[in-house]
Each structure stands twice: as structure tokens, then as C-alpha cells.
A and B are shown apart, each in its own frame.
Chain A
């Protein structure tokens, strides 16, 4: 059945700090991963992706690390800003087929000025 009232994991940081958000994925066959940012009352926005043939990928102020051994992803945000406050979640997928991606439940990032 459905669960209600679950609380998202929350990460509170000070403006200017680095943030690390974690995600455990479930399917060892997954070969493509995305991080999304979702602001309150809005749809998710793509941040960064990584394929399973890589361990690390960098974007602007963001880095994604992939550890396939333990099926773990992390998103690092450098010099966190108040505008980074949002829910962040990962998605896992198997490329090239009709696989429908699985989305994680997310972490709420709160940035204090």
C-alpha cells in the first residue's frame, strides 16, 4: 500500500559550503543515471548525467560520482547558493530499450544565507 507522511532526507548547509547529496540505485544492469533538481511546485529539471563507463563527470559547479560496486551515486555542489535550495533526486535507466527509468525519492537541500 501507499505510505504517507514520509519525510525526505534533508541536508542543511550554509551559503558557500559544498554540498554532497547521495543516491543508492537498485538495478545493477542500469547504465545511465541522471540527477534532477526540483523546486517547490515545479517540474524536475535536468542537472547532470553520467554513463556507467565513467566514474566521475563535472559540470558547472556540480560533479557526479558513480560507484558501480556499491550501486551509489553522489552529487556534489560547490559553493552552494540559496538558489540551490530544492529537492534533488536521481534516476537510473538502461539505455537503448523500452526500459522505463526508476526515480529515487530525493533529498531536500536547504541553503542558509
Chain B
């Protein structure tokens, strides 16, 4: 079955550590996205990538980094510069940015907690 897989489902980070969240899709989608979801708030865009080896900052990119070396993979690193990283992180993909949210496939999320 085609889909998008995020791992791990739960992640705990000590203060000052970098952690990397995995997102893999086998849908042959060109575009991939990372969103952050906090209680009582809508999804906020961290980074997105329209094509391999290219990515753009979203609304809240500070303290995060990404790479897009393969079409299937768009890992998100939460760096120690991100002061409030505890949140639910969602990855999504679509065939292209132009398809808009109708074409989004979401992963099941990673819940990151700072301990």
C-alpha cells in the first residue's frame, strides 16, 4: 500500500540535544511538508520541499532544519536552538504544491516531548 510513514511515534529529547524526525513516502510525490501542531492552534508550516534538493522555509522555520536528498524522504531536525520544541509534528506529501491541500496525504505524526 502507498502511504507516508513517520517515525518514531513518540520521541523524548533532553534539553540541548538535536533530534531528527523521519518522514518517508512511497507515493512518488514531489512535494513534502512539515507542520507543527500545538494544543489549540492550527497546523503551522515549518518547511516544505517542492522537489529533491530544494526546500523553503515556512512560517516557523527557526530552530529547525531539513534535507531532501531523496524524493521519498524529508527528515526534520529539531535543533537545540528551538526553545519550545514540545509539540505534535506532522509530515505531509502531495504530487506537487499546485495540487493544494486536496492532494495532501498526512502521516500519523510524531509527538516530541522535551524532558
Contact = CB atoms under 8 A, between A and B. Distances in A.
Interface in A65-113: 89, 91, 93-106
Contact of B38 (A4, A41, A95): A4
A34 B38 contact: no
Given A34-B102, A101-B100, A41 B111 contact: yes
A100 B40 contact: no
Contacts of B97: 98, 100
Interface centre among B35, B40, B107 (most CB of A within 10 A): B40
A47 to B, nearest CB: 12
B103 to A, nearest CB: 10
Nearest to B86: A4
A64 to B, nearest CB: 13
Q: Is the interface of A mostly helix, strand, loop or mixed?
A: loop
A101 B42 CA distance: 11
Contact of A44 (B44, B84, B100, B106): B106
Contacts of A4: 38-39, 84
4 tightest A-B CB contacts, nearest first: A6-B40, A43-B106, A103-B43, A103-B42
Interface of A: 2-8, 32, 34, 41-46, 49, 89, 91, 93-106
23 contacts: A2-B38, A2-B84, A3-B41, A5-B39, A34-B102, A41-B9, A42-B109, A43-B92, A43-B107, A44-B43, A44-B90, A44-B106, A46-B102, A46-B104, A49-B102, A91-B101, A96-B98, A103-B35, A103-B43, A103-B44, A104-B42, A105-B41, A105-B42
Given A5-B40, A34-B102, A102-B42, 12 more contacts: A2-B38, A3-B41, A4-B38, A4-B39, A6-B38, A7-B40, A34-B101, A41-B108, A44-B43, A95-B100, A105-B40, A105-B41
